[in-house]
Structure 1
Amino acid sequence: MPKNQPQNRKLKVAIILTIIIVMIFGKNILERKNFNELGDSFVSFYEDRLVVESYIFSISEKLFRIKLLVNHCEFESDYSHVIDEISEYEEDILLLVDSFEKTKLTLTEDQFLTDFRNIIEKNLRISEYALLYSDETGINSKSVKEYNSYIERAISDLEKLSLIQIEEGQKLANNSDKVVNRSRIWAQFEVAALVILLIIIYLLIYTSRSIKADFID
Structure 2
Amino acid sequence: MNKKKYQNRKVKVAIILTFLIVVIFGKNFFERKNFNELGDSFISFYEDRLVVESYIFSISEKLFRIKLLINHCEFESDYSNTVEEISNYEERILRLVKEFEKTKLTEVEESFLTDFKRIIMDNLRIADYKLIYSDSEGINEKKVKEYNTYIERALRDLEKLSQIQIDEGKKLAMNSDKVVNRSKIWSQFELAALIILLGIIYFLIYSSRSKPNTL
TM-score (norm 2): 0.97
Structure-1 residue corresponding to 2:15: 15
Question: 1:215 Cα deviation (Å)?
Answer: 3.8
Structure 1 counterpart SS, 2:65: helix
User: Paired residue for 2:6?
Assistant: 6
Partner of 1:199: 199
What is the aligned partner in structure 1 of residue 146 from structure 2?
146
2:63 counterpart residue number: 63
For residue 88 of structure 1, what is the amino acid of its counterpart?
N
Residue 124 of structure 1, CA deviation? 0.2
* AA in 2 matched with 1:135: D
1:128-158 deviation digits (Å, cap 9, x = unpaired):
1111111111110000000000000000000
* Structure 2 residue matching 1:115: 3-state secondary structure: helix
Higher relative CO (CA 8 A, sep ≥ 6), structure 1 or 2?
2
Q: Which residue of 2 aligns with 1:134?
A: 134
Deviation at 1:77, TM superposition (A): 1.3
Moved over 2 A (4+): none
Structure 1 unaligned spans of 5+: none
Q: Which residue of 2 aligns with 1:84?
A: 84
The aligned amino acid for 1:112 is: F
- SS of 1:103 mapped into structure 2: coil
Instruction: Report the counterpart of residue 176 of structure 1 in structure 2.
Output: 176
1: CA distance between counterparts of 2:127 and 2:205? 92
Give the corresponding residue for 2:75: 75
After TM superposition, the score normalised by the length of structure 1 is 0.96
What secondary structure does 1:210 align onto? coil
Aligned to 2:123: 123
The SS at the match of 2:210 is helix
* 1:29-44 equivalences in 2 (<5 Å): 29-44=29-44
Instruction: Name 2:110's counterpart in structure 1.
Output: 110
Which string of whole-angstrom CA distances, capped at 9 and with x for unpartnered residues, describes residues 144-194 of structure 1?
A: 000000000000000000000000001000000000011011111111110
Structure 2, unmatched stretches of 5+, are none
Amino acid at match of 2:7: Q
Give me the whole-angstrom Cα distance separating, in 1, the residues matched to 2:106 and 2:52.
13
Equivalences, count: 214
Match of 1:155 in 2: 155
Aligned residue for 2:104, secondary structure, equals coil
Hey, what's the Cα distance between the residues in 1 that align with 2:172 and 2:112? 21
What's the % identity of the aligned pairs? 74
- The Cα offsets for residues 27-48 of structure 1, whole Å up to 9 and x where unpaired, read as 1000000000000000000000
